[in-house]
Chain A
């Protein structure tokens, strides 16, 4: 009977998974780059480590934004739509 509704439900799960999976690639690459360069700079200038750590966390948070957006979209697909 309700083949259409079940299909929609299944597609929702698929959409949420794809959304989160693809959305996580960008922040992962970005944060990896940020962490790598921050570590490199810290190794070169250990006396700057405190400032670098602070700026690294801010840059991480900004790079993470798109991942958080895709998480919100995935949650909305699952529970709200």
Chain B
């Protein structure tokens, strides 16, 4: 798996002098995520009761809770009017990035998070950048929006332009780098762990036997004779296995590597997939909201 990093399946389309590269996996996953969100939106929309006075349905409550979360946590302390204008865009952005980040958790072979591709994140960052300008022009007018590039002094124009470029690039690179870094860590740690288990199998075996001894002692003290004899038998069997493992390492090294791999997989996927994915989606949306608000002021 670690040998696959940096090598992606790419389709090339030639349009006259242009050569455009597509990553079909990324494209398919991104479209799938978008379709899923569209279906989710339609499903939630159908659950809203026609009569506004009626008792709120479950889907309406879910929708309200989500929008309230975006309103409070992401838009925070903006003015009410700005909030109302930004809420749909920011909520959509958050949902798309979140679903894209979490899509890598699905156990489908070959599936990668769309946000692991720089093209997707750069596209999203450019979308936010364009939205900044559109919103700035709509709230302040073209002249005052253009004038904000000459502040505080007209000499600062190049600095403002470079600042815009760096802001957008770092916005894209941040999401891309975090998701790619997480997936590289996931791909690299598994072979290392299995290698370690195979290489240090003596130490690991002795450690497990010591743990077994402690458990046996606890059972003996509590007077649980039956469990003591059962575990003692298993312990003796494990001792025999450890002694003969020079000839038959497969017998317990492979199950141990499998167990440790599974446990580490749960922990690592939780951290790099679920936790980092959610935090990065939040960061991306928070920064987008902050940039748009800055453009509007």
A-side interface residues toward B, CB under 8 Å?
Answer: 50-51, 53-54, 57-58, 60-61, 64-65, 68-69, 71-72, 75, 78-79
Residues of B at the A interface (CB closer than 8 Å) are 5-6, 72-74, 76-77, 170, 173-174, 177-178, 180-181, 279, 282-283, 286-287, 290
Contact B174 A65 (CB under 8 A): yes
Asked if A50 contacts B72 (CB within 8 A), the reply is yes
CB < 8 Å neighbour of A54 from B174, B178, B181, B286: B286
Task: Find the residue from A53, A54, A58, A60 having the highest chain B CB count within 10 A.
Answer: A54
In the bound complex, residues from chain A placing their C-beta under 8 Å from that of B177 are 68, 71-72
A79, closest chain B residue (CB) = B6
Tell whether, in the assembled complex, residue A61 and residue B180 are in contact, meaning their CB atoms are under 8 Å apart.
no
Tell whether, in the assembled complex, residue A75 and residue B180 are in contact, meaning their CB atoms are under 8 Å apart: yes
Q: Are B286 and A61 in contact (CB under 8 A)?
A: yes
- Are B6 and A50 within 8 A (Cβ)? no
Residues of A within 8 A of B290 (CB): 58
A57 to B73, CA, bound (A): 11
Q: Given the complex, which residues of B lie within 8 Å of A60, measured CB to CB?
A: 283
In the docked arrangement, what's the CA distance between A72 and B73, Å? 30
Complex: A61 Cα to B72 Cα, angstroms: 19
Chain B residue with Cβ nearest A58: B286
Bound form: Cα–Cα A71–B181 in Å: 8
A53 closest partner in B (C-beta): B73
B76 surroundings in chain A (CB, below 8 A):
50-51, 54
Q: Most chain-A CB neighbours within 10 Å: which of B5, B72, B170? A: B170
A68–B282 touching, CB < 8 Å:
no
**B170 x A68 contact (CB < 8 A):** yes
